[in-house]
Amino acid sequence: MPKAPVIFWFRQDLRLADNPGLTAAVRAGAVLPVYILDDENAGKWRMGAASRWWLEQALARLNDSLGGTLSCFVGAADQLLPELVRQSGAGEVFWNRCYEPWRISRDKKLKQRLTEQGIKVHSYNASLLWEPWEILKKDGTPYQVFTPYFRKGCLSVPPPKPLPPPAQAEFISGNLDALLCPRLEPLPVRPWHDKLAARWAVGEQQAGLALEDFLRDRLQGYKEGRDYLADDHVSRLSPHLHFGEISPRQVWQGALRAGLEAGCEADLDHFLSELAWREFSHYLLYYFPQLPEHCFNAKFEDFPWQRDAMAFDAWKWGETGYPLVDAGMRELWETGTMHNRARMITASFLVKNQLVDWRMGQEWFWDCLVDADLASNSFGWQWVAGSGADAVPYFRIFNPVTQGKKFDPDGRYVRRYIPELRRLPDRYLHAPWEASTEVLAEAGVRLGRDYPQPVVNLQTSREKALAAFHSLKRS
């Protein structure tokens, strides 16, 4: 009698190399690879538009690597997977673990259901360098501050070496046509995702090339260069990491090798610590599953946020009148990503100068970012808002003018995304309202017509924010 096939369920691990669950499945028999887009269980956290664009490309590339055997489905995975097991006659199911609260609760139920049906379920770690339960304080409780988490906790547990792609794999497509769904769902407006296609190369192979490229050209000088907005002195690996086209272990080991060879220890250390911020955000999401919806520091729930639709719209579309904020927001819309420093500045502006609830900004990022990640996005917003774990103190309010002068001194970033200001002299580029009528006229800028007047005053909005924060302290 032929051996029953096994199912490998791809999730946030759309790759063949360093995929422990896939390697184990291949050892167990012929593998039926499946992917399920589960909006039903995701609920509010169903993938946003930019992520859906990425996913569709990533699945197409993965399917090529699997010889066209990947079956994709749309629906509740806890309903679909048992049905796929039944149809295919599979005796075992393999997957790699995910850490979003909705996935954890769904996977627990699913595992129980399959086990009750006599199906063996195996799960592995493919997405993190350290799983949350591996790093705890001496008293057994989770860390809430990054530096001891990383330096005392993580660095004492070397991450495992990455695995090669599974050898002698047999992938089969099975007989699952009844449930097969050829397209995931209609994609967002065409011109928008054409821009994303022009910007990004998706898939495991491309992720490997992006890593090589970064290690060769930009790891050296990363520590300083990562803050400069126009230079792109960063890896741009976040969407590849989010979708699991490359693993954090591959990135960690690659960086370690390249950094030690090049003798750029300070850059290496900084880059590894950024990977560890990604780990820390997953860690916090695991221990504090309310992170995406509720302030980590509960007192911020009483903050007098303003639900100002006009202010929010001006921010969303890069029309605040503050060039650095607007350039960041337009970068997001143009490319599906935003430089980390611009994320901090734009988020701070929304939450602190416009007093808009961080959750509104988080949702916009969720829809527009190709690397939208429940852990890193929620953590990033709460960090900026001051409500998070190990967050920036509330009184630290990024000033977009001084940040611009420091991190975009020659204005290349602003000019790239705000062409209407291109001809303004550097001196006024980050504060066009300071330019005289003659200077503006010469640059072809009519404030309030070609480019907006500032929507808020930096000084008074800062004072208002601090007063709101102090009222909170007293309550």
Ligand X SMILES: Cc1cc2nc3c(=O)[nH]c(=O)nc-3n(C[C@H](O)[C@H](O)[C@H](O)COP(=O)(O)OP(=O)(O)OC[C@H]3O[C@@H](n4cnc5c(N)ncnc54)[C@H](O)[C@@H]3O)c2cc1C
List residues binding ligand X (CB under 6 A).
Answer: 226, 234-238, 241-242, 274-275, 277-278, 281, 340, 343-344, 347, 365, 369, 371-373, 376-377, 380-381, 384
- Using the minimum distance from each CB to ligand X, give the nearer residue, 117 or 147: 147
Question: Which candidate in 131, 134, 274, 420 is catalytic?
Answer: 274
Residue showing the smallest CB distance to ligand X in the complex = 380
* Residue closer to ligand X (CB basis): 278 or 430: 278
Closer CB to ligand X, 106 or 282, in the complex: 282
Residue with Cβ nearer ligand X (92 or 371): 371
Task: Verify whether residue 340 is a known catalytic residue.
Answer: yes
Which listed residue (53, 54, 130, 358) is catalytic?
A: 358
Q: At its nearest, how many Å lie between ligand X and the CB of residue 325? A: 13
Active site residue 366: no
Closest contact distance (angstroms) between CB of 330 and ligand X is 16
Which of the residues 53, 54, 381, 383 is marked catalytic? Answer: 381
Q: How far apart are CA 240 and CA 201, in angstroms?
A: 10
305 noted as active-site residue: yes
Q: Which of 277, 315, 364, 366 is catalytic?
A: 277
The CB-of-278 to ligand X minimum distance in angstroms stands at 4
Q: Respond yes or no: is residue 381 known to be catalytic.
A: yes
Q: Which among 131, 297, 333, 340 is annotated as catalytic?
A: 340
- For the CB of residue 237, give the shortest distance to ligand X in the complex, in Å: 4
Active site residue 53: no
Given the complex with ligand X, which of 8 and 222 has the nearer CB atom? 222
Query: Residue 225 CB, nearest distance to ligand X (Å)?
Result: 10
**59 vs 275, which CB is nearer to ligand X?**
275
User: Minimum distance from CB of 417 to ligand X (Å)?
Assistant: 16
Q: Residues with catalytic annotation?
A: 274, 277, 305, 340, 358, 381
